[in-house]
Protein backbone atom coordinates (compact mmCIF):
# COMPACT_ATOMS: atom_id res chain seq x y z
CA UNK A 1 0.00 0.00 0.00
CA UNK A 2 1.46 3.31 -1.12
CA UNK A 3 -1.17 5.67 0.32
CA UNK A 4 -4.24 5.20 2.50
CA UNK A 5 -6.76 7.52 4.13
CA UNK A 6 -9.93 6.97 6.07
CA UNK A 7 -12.57 9.67 5.55
CA UNK A 8 -11.64 12.44 3.14
CA UNK A 9 -11.00 13.00 -0.55
CA UNK A 10 -9.66 10.74 -3.25
CA UNK A 11 -8.30 13.10 -5.92
CA UNK A 12 -7.41 11.86 -9.40
CA UNK A 13 -5.05 14.42 -10.93
CA UNK A 14 -4.63 14.85 -14.67
CA UNK A 15 -1.95 17.35 -15.66
CA UNK A 16 -2.41 18.98 -19.05
CA UNK A 17 0.23 20.12 -21.50
CA UNK A 18 -0.30 23.81 -20.65
CA UNK A 19 -0.58 23.53 -16.86
CA UNK A 20 1.73 25.61 -14.64
CA UNK A 21 2.23 26.46 -10.98
CA UNK A 22 -0.82 28.72 -11.36
CA UNK A 23 -2.97 25.60 -11.86
CA UNK A 24 -1.21 23.93 -8.92
CA UNK A 25 -2.27 26.81 -6.65
CA UNK A 26 -5.82 26.71 -8.02
CA UNK A 27 -6.09 22.93 -7.53
CA UNK A 28 -4.71 23.18 -4.01
CA UNK A 29 -7.33 25.77 -3.14
CA UNK A 30 -10.14 23.62 -4.55
CA UNK A 31 -8.90 20.45 -2.83
CA UNK A 32 -8.55 21.88 0.67
CA UNK A 33 -11.32 24.52 0.69
CA UNK A 34 -14.32 23.13 -1.23
CA UNK A 35 -17.24 22.70 1.18
CA UNK A 36 -18.40 19.10 0.73
CA UNK A 37 -19.56 18.03 4.22
CA UNK A 38 -22.43 19.08 6.48
CA UNK A 39 -21.90 21.24 9.54
CA UNK A 40 -22.81 20.22 13.11
CA UNK A 41 -26.44 21.25 12.42
CA UNK A 42 -26.64 18.92 9.42
CA UNK A 43 -26.64 21.72 6.84
CA UNK A 44 -25.03 20.27 3.72
CA UNK A 45 -22.09 21.81 1.82
CA UNK A 46 -20.71 23.77 4.78
CA UNK A 47 -17.33 22.24 5.74
CA UNK A 48 -14.14 21.39 3.84
CA UNK A 49 -11.51 18.71 4.25
CA UNK A 50 -9.36 21.39 5.94
CA UNK A 51 -12.18 22.39 8.32
CA UNK A 52 -12.67 18.77 9.42
CA UNK A 53 -8.98 17.75 9.45
CA UNK A 54 -9.65 14.88 7.02
CA UNK A 55 -7.35 12.99 4.70
CA UNK A 56 -6.56 13.54 1.04
CA UNK A 57 -5.28 10.79 -1.26
CA UNK A 58 -3.72 12.25 -4.43
CA UNK A 59 -3.30 10.00 -7.48
CA UNK A 60 -1.70 10.99 -10.78
CA UNK A 61 -3.98 10.02 -13.66
CA UNK A 62 -2.82 11.10 -17.13
CA UNK A 63 -5.62 9.07 -18.72
CA UNK A 64 -8.05 11.82 -17.70
CA UNK A 65 -6.71 13.57 -20.81
CA UNK A 66 -7.55 10.65 -23.12
CA UNK A 67 -9.61 11.65 -26.15
CA UNK A 68 -11.45 9.16 -28.30
CA UNK A 69 -10.20 8.87 -31.85
CA UNK A 70 -11.52 6.87 -34.78
CA UNK A 71 -12.00 3.13 -34.28
CA UNK A 72 -11.89 3.38 -30.47
CA UNK A 73 -8.27 4.54 -30.31
CA UNK A 74 -7.26 6.91 -27.49
CA UNK A 75 -5.07 9.98 -27.86
CA UNK A 76 -3.19 11.34 -24.83
CA UNK A 77 -1.39 14.24 -26.55
CA UNK A 78 -3.13 16.82 -24.33
CA UNK A 79 -1.48 15.30 -21.23
CA UNK A 80 1.79 16.88 -20.13
CA UNK A 81 5.04 15.02 -20.76
CA UNK A 82 5.88 12.70 -17.84
CA UNK A 83 8.97 14.52 -16.50
CA UNK A 84 7.32 17.94 -16.31
CA UNK A 85 4.05 16.43 -15.07
CA UNK A 86 5.93 14.65 -12.27
CA UNK A 87 7.29 18.01 -11.08
CA UNK A 88 3.80 19.59 -11.01
CA UNK A 89 2.30 16.50 -9.35
CA UNK A 90 4.95 16.70 -6.63
CA UNK A 91 4.23 20.40 -6.27
CA UNK A 92 0.52 19.71 -5.74
CA UNK A 93 1.40 17.12 -3.11
CA UNK A 94 3.68 19.56 -1.30
CA UNK A 95 1.10 22.37 -1.25
CA UNK A 96 -1.50 20.03 0.26
CA UNK A 97 1.05 18.74 2.81
CA UNK A 98 1.82 22.35 3.74
CA UNK A 99 -1.87 22.90 4.54
CA UNK A 100 -3.05 19.55 5.92
CA UNK A 101 0.18 17.97 7.14
CA UNK A 102 1.92 14.81 6.02
CA UNK A 103 -0.31 12.49 8.05
CA UNK A 104 -3.47 13.70 6.31
CA UNK A 105 -1.88 13.87 2.85
CA UNK A 106 -1.17 10.63 1.03
CA UNK A 107 -0.16 10.15 -2.59
CA UNK A 108 0.09 7.42 -5.19
CA UNK A 109 3.32 6.76 -7.04
CA UNK A 110 3.61 8.87 -10.18
CA UNK A 111 3.47 6.82 -13.39
CA UNK A 112 2.93 3.50 -11.65
CA UNK A 113 0.26 0.91 -12.33
CA UNK A 114 -1.87 0.95 -9.20
CA UNK A 115 -4.93 -0.79 -7.85
CA UNK A 116 -7.10 1.87 -6.25
CA UNK A 117 -9.96 1.01 -3.92
CA UNK A 118 -12.49 3.72 -3.21
CA UNK A 119 -15.52 3.64 -0.94
CA UNK A 120 -17.66 6.52 -2.14
CA UNK A 121 -19.57 8.13 0.72
CA UNK A 122 -22.30 10.05 -0.96
CA UNK A 123 -22.11 9.64 -3.87
CA UNK A 124 -20.32 12.91 -4.53
CA UNK A 125 -17.96 13.22 -7.47
CA UNK A 126 -16.64 16.64 -8.43
CA UNK A 127 -14.67 17.55 -11.57
CA UNK A 128 -12.25 20.43 -11.10
CA UNK A 129 -10.87 21.75 -14.36
CA UNK A 130 -8.66 24.79 -14.10
Q: Give the active site residues.
A: 63
Beta bridge partners of 84: none
CA-to-CA distance for 24 and 33, rounded, in angstroms? 14
Is 124 in a helix, a strand, or coil?
coil
- 51: exposed, middle or buried (Cβ count in 10 Å: 0-12, 13-18, 19+): middle
Is 111 in a helix, a strand, or coil?
coil
Amino acid sequence: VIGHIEKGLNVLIGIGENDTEKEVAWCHDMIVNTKLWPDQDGKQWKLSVKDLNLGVLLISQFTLYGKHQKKGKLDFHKAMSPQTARELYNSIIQTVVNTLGSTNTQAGEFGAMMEVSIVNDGPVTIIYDS
